[in-house]
Structure 1
Amino acid sequence: MGLVKIKNVQNGKIGFWKISHDDDLKFAETIFTSYHPNWKNYRNNKRRHQILATRLLAHELCSKNDIKQNEFGKPYLISGTDFISISNDNNYIALLLSNHPCGIDLQSVNTKILKIASKFQNKNDFIQNNKIQELTQLWAAKEAMYKVYGTPTILFKQHLTIEQKSSNEFIGFCAHPHIKFQCKINMYSFKNYLLAFTSEIIDH
């Protein structure tokens, strides 16, 4: 299926890609070659396809650039002033291109979230129950927020708190000792997926 949609959002745009057998993987091998340059070393065919499909999606949004990853795996554009964030789940890929530090996360809604809720949910978060949909919202929001800076010492349960403003708008707070900021987080749903992305850094 390939490119599903490009959506304009505050301060940037989001691209969606659905992996399919029709993806032009030969072309993908020739573009954005700094993004996972050793992709052939992956034994998992699905992971290799995922990397190449991400290159194809990036080509749709910022064709004259390339993507590298820092020592923590956070992607960044090698030229220009824009920022980038990438997420994938099963056969879908989402890419956020923004004019400020940003984060995006794509999550399928399923019962697996119940097993890890205690690792990321704190007493100040907007929910205090075990509803799968809301827990997935919380997880996706924290993932998107974490990706703004991608610092491994930021802990989801201890440092990140999410407040809900409406059904699809949230505010995230980071209380890391050395990294303090707030951000707006928007949430969309499609099929059995939730997509969370930061739309504005309020204070940092």
Structure 2
Amino acid sequence: MPLYKTFTPNSQTTVKIWKITESYDDLMRPISLRPESLERVLGMKSEIHQRGFLSVRHLLAEFGYTDTDLFYDANGKPHLKDGKYISITHSFTFSAIIVSEHEVGIDIEMQREKIKIIAHKFVDYEFDYLNKSTEDYIKKLTVIWGIKESLYKLFATPGMLFREHFLVVPFMLEDGETIAWIDYEHKKYRYNTYFLEFEGFTCAYVTT
């Protein structure tokens, strides 16, 4: 399947989502990879990860980029050679890219029961407004995880912890947006955050 969804949160930012239905061979055939990218994809043990990696290269093409336009810094954060900001994610059968004139982060997560088991590892303040008995508990936990993962990708600083350094302001699922804060080394940073659901997945992204 080609492009699944495209939207523009603002005039400087575009998000593109790909639904990964193609085989590894179909994804590999039309694209060109740098030697190091080819080595990386061939070294992946999981075909799901391989297809996710390749679908991201197709998304790059949708933006007019190629694999050679993308590079990573020492912290593993992706960058574009033209200076625009980029963030990348893939999860099972979906991948997404956000490109902007400003710093951004994006994450896609499958909504799964097991997130309740690990909630204590990434939720602190948010427990004050979450209700474990409601039907939307898993969905809200997934939004919080996605926002915090997006913040981590945007800030890309080793030593940052989801539970201790990231805070997500109370939100309603139908609103599709909220505010998040990073409190790190005696400095506070405020971010606009957005989220949407589709086919049992949650996509969250943050912008400055």
Q: Same fold (TM over 0.5)?
A: yes
Equivalence for 1:158: 164
Equivalence for 2:8: 8
Shift of 1:36: 6.7
Deviates more, 1:115-124 or 1:96-105: 115-124
Structure 2 vs 1, CA of residues 107 and 126 (structure 1 numbering), >3 Å: closer, same or farther? farther
Structure 2 vs 1, CA of residues 104 and 35 (structure 1 numbering), >3 Å: closer, same or farther? farther
Shift of 1:71: 2.2
* Deviation by residue 1:123-150 (Cα, 9 ceiling, x = unmatched): 2566333321111111111111111122
Taking the aligned partners of 1:148 and 1:157, their CA distance within structure 2 comes to: 16
Taking the aligned partners of 1:123 and 1:6, their CA distance within structure 2 comes to: 33
Residues 62-101 of structure 1: matches in 2 within 5 Å?
A: 62-63=64-65, 66-77=69-80, 79-101=81-103
Moved over 6 A (4+): none
Q: Which has the higher helix share?
A: 2
Contact preservation (8 Å) 1:103, 1:198 = yes
Task: Decide which of 141, 147, 151 is 2:147's aligned counterpart.
Answer: 141
| Aligned residue pairs, count | 198
Shift of 1:62: 3.3
Identity of aligned residues (%): 26
Contact preservation (8 Å) 2:108, 2:204 = yes
Structure 2 vs 1, CA of residues 54 and 195 (structure 1 numbering), >3 Å: closer, same or farther? same
* Deviation by residue 1:92-137 (Cα, 9 ceiling, x = unmatched): 0011011111101111111011111001111256633332111111
Taking the aligned partners of 2:190 and 2:87, their CA distance within structure 1 comes to: 18
Taking the aligned partners of 1:162 and 1:36, their CA distance within structure 2 comes to: 38
What is the TM-score when the length of structure 1 is the normalising length? 0.87
Taking the aligned partners of 2:205 and 2:102, their CA distance within structure 1 comes to: 12
Equivalence for 2:194: 186
* Deviation by residue 1:55-91 (Cα, 9 ceiling, x = unmatched): 01111113266111222222111x2121000111111
Taking the aligned partners of 1:12 and 1:33, their CA distance within structure 2 comes to: 30
Taking the aligned partners of 2:184 and 2:112, their CA distance within structure 1 comes to: 29
Partner of 2:157, secondary structure, is coil
* Deviation by residue 1:150-170 (Cα, 9 ceiling, x = unmatched): 212111110100103552111
Listed as ranges, the gaps of 5+ residues in structure 1 are: none
Partner of 1:185, secondary structure, is strand
Contact preservation (8 Å) 1:15, 1:96 = yes
What is the TM-score when the length of structure 2 is the normalising length? 0.85
* Deviation by residue 1:11-54 (Cα, 9 ceiling, x = unmatched): 310111111236441222x1566657522122222222221111
Residues 24-173 of structure 1: matches in 2 within 5 Å?
A: 24-28=27-31, 30-31=32-33, 35=37, 38-63=40-65, 66-77=69-80, 79-123=81-125, 127-130=129-132, 131-164=137-170, 166=172, 167-173=175-181
Partner of 2:170, secondary structure, is strand
